[in-house]
Structure 1
Amino acid sequence: MSPREKEILQSLMGGDANKVIARKLDVTEATVKVHVKSILRKIGAANRTQAAMWANENLRFQPEASLMN
C-alpha cells in the first residue's frame, strides 16, 4: 500500500468523506475515489467500513485525534 493510500485509509478510519479527504490532501475528489477503490481492492474489503476495520486490526496507526471530537 502506498503512503498516500495509508493517509487516505487513516482518514477513512476517522469517518471522513471523500470531499473532506480531498481538501485535507489538496487533491481532487476523483483522485480520492481512485485511491479508495485501490485500497478496497488491495485489502479485499467490500466498503469503507470494512476497510477501516481492516486498518484498525492490521496497521499501526489510529484515527486522527481531531476527527474523534
Structure 2
Amino acid sequence: MQNEDEYADYPHFADDLDRRAWDIWSYIDGRDAGTAVESALHQTARGFHTYLIVADDTVMLIPTADIIA
C-alpha cells in the first residue's frame, strides 16, 4: 500500500527494475484501500467473493510491456 508522499520515489524505480518486480510494479493508494474496506463493510449481499484491489496503473513510468520485453 502506498501513501501520497511515496509517489515521488516512483521515477527512481526505473533505475532498478528488479526492486519492485516481486509485485509486477503494482500498488494501491492507501485512500483507495480504505474505500474498498468501507465498501465491503456496507455490503448486504451474503457469500464469499475474492477481489484483487489494485491501481489501474503501475509505479513505473515505463510501459509494462516494454519492461517485460
**TM-score, length-scaled by structure 1:** 0.26
**TM-score, length-scaled by structure 2:** 0.26
